[in-house]
Amino acid sequence: MARIDVNHVRHSYLPNPQKDADFALREVHHTFEDGGAYALLGPSGCGKTTLLNIISGLLHPSHGRLLFNGKDVTNLSTQERNIAQVFQFPVIYDTMTVYDNLAFPLRNRGVPEADVDRKVRETLEMIDLASWARKKARGLTADQKQKISLGRGLVRSDVNAILFDEPLTVIDPHMKWVLRSQLKQLHRRFGYTMVYVTHDQTEALTFADQVVVMYDGGIVQIGTPAELFERPRHTFVGYFIGSPGMNVMPVAIDGKTATLGSQRIELPGAPKASGAVELGIRPEYVRLGREGMAVSISKVEDLGRHKVVRAKLEGRDIAAVIGEDETVPAEPKVRFDPAGINIYADSWRVEMGA
Amino acid sequence: MDKTWNNKAWFLVLPVLVLVAFTAVIPLMTVVNYSVQDTFGNNVFTWAGTEWFEELLSSSRFWEAMVRNLIFSFIILAIEVPLGIFIALNMPKKGWGVPVCLVLMSLPLLIPWNVVGTIWQVFGRNDIGLLGYYLNAIGIDYNYVQDPFDAWVTIIIMDVWHWTSLVVLLCYAGLVSIPDAFYQAAKIDGASRWAVFRYIQLPKMQRVLLIAVLLRFMDSFMIYTEPFVVTGGGPGNSTTFLSIDLVKTALGQFDLGPAAAMSLVYFLIILLLSWVFYTVMTNYDAER
């Protein structure tokens, strides 16, 4: 297990990258702490898999360095880095038994057969496949195969980190939940450093202590699920996390007041914002009632646990979340809960100020 | 539920039935018919019973040709399958090299069989052939017209040149269908080059290999055109395969009865051996 330092890493798939747009990974500088559970979250093409493959050594970065426990591993091969990786589609050696699949990485490294046997049996217990040991791996279900992929990483006790590249994509929904909680358990019991790539926010938020949100080849925010929810550093994080995403609307700021069309919104502080200024508020902090700013309702979606109200405020779409038992008043108006207001200048969050 | 019977569907199948009848069933039945009769021409046939079969199965000429066929097919498979896999493994997987290699590989397959025979017949000649002339020029006594061993070597090299591409293309198709993740996982597991071949590439190629082996076996066992053009079955009878023998009997001597009996036995042997190959390879698959 190791602390992983990603030092100013940039990567381009082109031979001669010139401008920023040529880079799949613009610049990442971050430390993954030893024993941490991290999720790399972002839309397709944001560079999260590139970053993962750079950590595992399947890719060598165009610029920057990578340290495991302070030791430079930038030029080491995947094998020398001693990491485990689970891919989107289960990779199993289908002519081998489950047991031999797990023994494979150890036998390749010349581990004595007695140790192989002990480790494989331990791992089979960990991934709950002990009764399948002698079965051919090809006959298993997708989630069992994915567990074998994971097991081939766990079987090496000295792995520096376990990396997951959207590992639950081909798993049935109810098994996803089971596998995810098993992963959490493994993490708690054995303290592996885990990095988990996904574009599914639920997966990321439930799996990780720290979620790294990536957008357009760079990291836009790193934080706990609560931080990402309450204080998105970038409007992208606001949109991407939460369902529905954050309401973002252009405003003009004057002291402690924001002006949205003909409406005036009192702010908890006086932010110093210049450039394109926007106000962001999560639907959970939009209060629907008889006072405030007038809106016209376009749709109410009943999700069972709560309702999502789609409305227009000053000609802009806005979403609000209300309780399952609440009703929409005849002349609906909205207020913004000051605790949920964030101000953005050129898409980046600015502090509220005093 | 009421089921409406509509016999019109038979009309849709009819053209194929007629076609197959004329191209396969009727000729096959004619052969069966000939094989149990004797004729001296003029369309006069007399019943011969199993006479031709008995004669055939006790003739050393037939068994010698058969052994030649088996040896030939064995050598061909032993060279073309490993060589084909080896070439497929070394072909580029992306970039401009892919179309170049594919076209080069397809070229021998596009040449008509008799032309392939003619090419090698000329190529190997001692007087004007590039191969024959220069082999002799550097002191190797090579003459496929007189030496049975040289004749065999020529025919085998010709077949390898002609048909290895087929194995290559089939294996290549199997190889490119393997997702990158398998190779990446193998790297992470520390697998050697051999282990990657043994546990990833070979299992994924298995189905296409089965097809390749079957096709190459059937084709090589039925080989006719190329040796006929190159050596005409000689020197002596050294390259007379079953098919060449068959044509000699049927068309050369016009012995329709014996030739028909021989065709049937030949057909049954190919059927039997193909079935054995198929069963062995699919069972092996299921067992694993």
Full DSSP string of A79-144: HHHT-EEE-SS----TTSBHHHHHHHHHHHTT--HHHHHHHHHHHHHHTT-GGGTTSBGGGS-HHH
Pairwise CA distance, residues A71 & A3, whole Å: 10
Q: Which residues in chain B have their CB less than 8 angstroms from residue A108's CB?
A: 189-192, 195
User: In terms of CA atoms, which chain A residue is nearest residue B184?
Assistant: A58
- Tell me the domain boundaries of chain B: 62-254+267-287
| Whether residue B68 has pLDDT greater than 70 | yes
Contacts of residue B144, defined as CB under 8 A and 6 or more positions apart, other chains included, come to B124, B132, B150, B151, B153, B154, B230, B231
Quickly state the pLDDT bin for B284 (edges 50, 70, 90): low
How many beta carbons lie within 10 A of that of residue A130, not counting itself? Answer: 14
DSSP symbols for B23-44: IIIHHHHHHHHHHTEEE-STT-
Contacts of residue A293, defined as CB under 8 A and 6 or more positions apart, other chains included, come to A260, A263, A265, A313, A314, A333, A334, A335
CB A41 within 8 A of CB A211: yes
Which of A77, A80, A85 should we substitute to test contact with B (largest number of B Cβ atoms within 10 Å)?
Answer: A85
Mean pLDDT value across residues B124-142? 81
| Whether residue A288 has pLDDT greater than 80 | yes
Pairwise CA distance, residues A202 & A196, whole Å: 12
Q: Which residues in chain A have their CB less than 8 angstroms from residue B195's CB?
A: 104, 108
pLDDT of residue B84: 94
Nearest-by-Cβ selection for A58 from B184, B190, B199: B184
Q: Which fold has domain B62-254+267-287?
A: MetI-like fold (1.10.3720)
Pairwise CA distance, residues B219 & B171, whole Å: 18
pLDDT of residue B187: 86
Pairwise CA distance, residues A79 & A84, whole Å: 9
Quickly state the pLDDT bin for B74 (edges 50, 70, 90): very high
Q: Which residues in chain B have their CB less than 8 angstroms from residue A94's CB?
A: 203
Nearest-by-Cβ selection for A105 from B181, B182, B189: B189
Quickly state the pLDDT bin for A182 (edges 50, 70, 90): confident
Mean pLDDT value across residues A255-260? 86
Q: What is the largest CA-CA distance in chain A?
A: 77
Burial-class residue B3 by CB neighbours within 10 Å (0-12, 13-18, 19+).
exposed
CA A27 centroid distance within chain: 18
User: In terms of CA atoms, which chain A residue is nearest residue B200?
Assistant: A93
Q: Work out the mean pLDDT of chain A and round it to a whole number.
A: 86
CB A345 within 8 A of CB A276: yes
Which tens digits make up the pLDDT trace of A99-139?
A: 888 899 888 888 888 888 888 888 888 888 888 888 888 88
Nearest-by-Cβ selection for B288 from A136, A149, A153: A136
Verify whether the Cβ–Cβ distance B190 to A108 is below 8 Å.
yes
Verify whether the Cβ–Cβ distance B192 to A96 is below 8 Å.
no
Contact status of A307 with chain B (Cβ, < 8 Å):
no
CB A263 within 8 A of CB A335: no
Nearest-by-Cβ selection for B199 from A79, A88, A95: A95
Tokens of A119: 């480790």
- Whole-Å CA distances, A142 to A129, A131, A344: 13, 17, 44
Tokens of B191: 């697998």
pLDDT of residue B170: 92
Mean pLDDT value across residues A32-50? 86
Quickly state the pLDDT bin for B100 (edges 50, 70, 90): very high
pLDDT of residue B75: 94
pLDDT of residue B1: 52
DSSP symbols for B67-136: HHHHHHHHHHHHHHHHHHHHHHHHS-SSSTHHHHHHHHHHHHHHS-HHHHHHHHHHHT-TTT-HHHHHHH
Mean pLDDT value across residues A75-92? 85
Pairwise CA distance, residues A232 & A246, whole Å: 9
CB B208 within 8 A of CB B178: no
Q: Work out the mean pLDDT of chain B and round it to a whole number.
A: 84
Q: Is the dihedral of CA A73, A74, A78, A80 positive or negative?
A: negative
CATH of A4-230 given 3.30.70.141, 3.40.50.150, 3.40.50.300, 3.40.190.10: 3.40.50.300
Distance from CA of B217 to the nearest CA of A (A): 26
CB B255 within 8 A of CB B249: yes
CB A237 within 8 A of CB A220: yes
pLDDT of residue A184: 85
pLDDT of residue B166: 93
Which of B52, B181, B187, B169 has its CA nearest to residue B104? B169
Contact status of A80 with chain B (Cβ, < 8 Å):
no
pLDDT of residue B126: 80
pLDDT of residue B286: 61
How many beta carbons lie within 10 A of that of residue B119, not counting itself? Answer: 19
Distance from CA of B179 to the nearest CA of A (A): 9
Q: Which residues in chain A have their CB less than 8 angstroms from residue B185's CB?
A: 85, 87, 91, 149, 152
Which residue bears the tokens 């990491």?
A83
User: DSSP state, A283?
Assistant: G
Mean pLDDT value across residues B259-278? 85
Contact status of A142 with chain B (Cβ, < 8 Å):
no
Read off the pTM: 0.74
Q: What percent of chain A has pLDDT over 70?
A: 99
Contact status of B199 with chain A (Cβ, < 8 Å):
yes
pLDDT of residue A347: 87
Which tens digits make up the pLDDT trace of B156-174?
A: 988 999 999 999 999 999 9
CATH 3.40.1410.10 fits A245-350, yes or no: no
CB B234 within 8 A of CB B196: no
pLDDT of residue A48: 85
| Whether residue A69 has pLDDT greater than 80 | yes
How many beta carbons lie within 10 A of that of residue B66, not counting itself? Answer: 17
Nearest-by-Cβ selection for A85 from B188, B190, B192: B188
Q: Which residues in chain A have their CB less than 8 angstroms from residue B203's CB?
A: 93-95
Interface size A-B, in CB pairs within 8 Å, comes to: 52
Verify whether the Cβ–Cβ distance B188 to A153 is below 8 Å.
yes
CA A311 centroid distance within chain: 29
CB B164 within 8 A of CB B84: yes
- Tell me the domain boundaries of chain A: 4-230, 245-350
Quickly state the pLDDT bin for B80 (edges 50, 70, 90): very high
pLDDT of residue A351: 86
DSSP three-state, residue A190: helix
| Whether residue B4 has pLDDT greater than 60 | yes
Tokens of A325: 């038992």
Pairwise CA distance, residues A341 & A273, whole Å: 14
Burial-class residue B254 by CB neighbours within 10 Å (0-12, 13-18, 19+).
exposed
Quickly state the pLDDT bin for B85 (edges 50, 70, 90): very high
Verify whether the Cβ–Cβ distance B181 to A89 is below 8 Å.
yes
ipTM beyond 0.90? Answer: no
Distance from CA of B20 to the nearest CA of A (A): 40
**Which residues 194-223 of chain A have a CB within 8 Å of chain B?**
none
Encoded amino acid at B204, one letter: K
Quickly state the pLDDT bin for B287 (edges 50, 70, 90): low
CB B260 within 8 A of CB B52: yes
Strand partners, A213: A41, A221
Verify whether the Cβ–Cβ distance B188 to A93 is below 8 Å.
no
Which of A13, A53, A58 should we substitute to test contact with B (largest number of B Cβ atoms within 10 Å)?
Answer: A58
User: In terms of CA atoms, which chain A residue is nearest residue B286?
Assistant: A95
Distance from CA of B178 to the nearest CA of A (A): 11
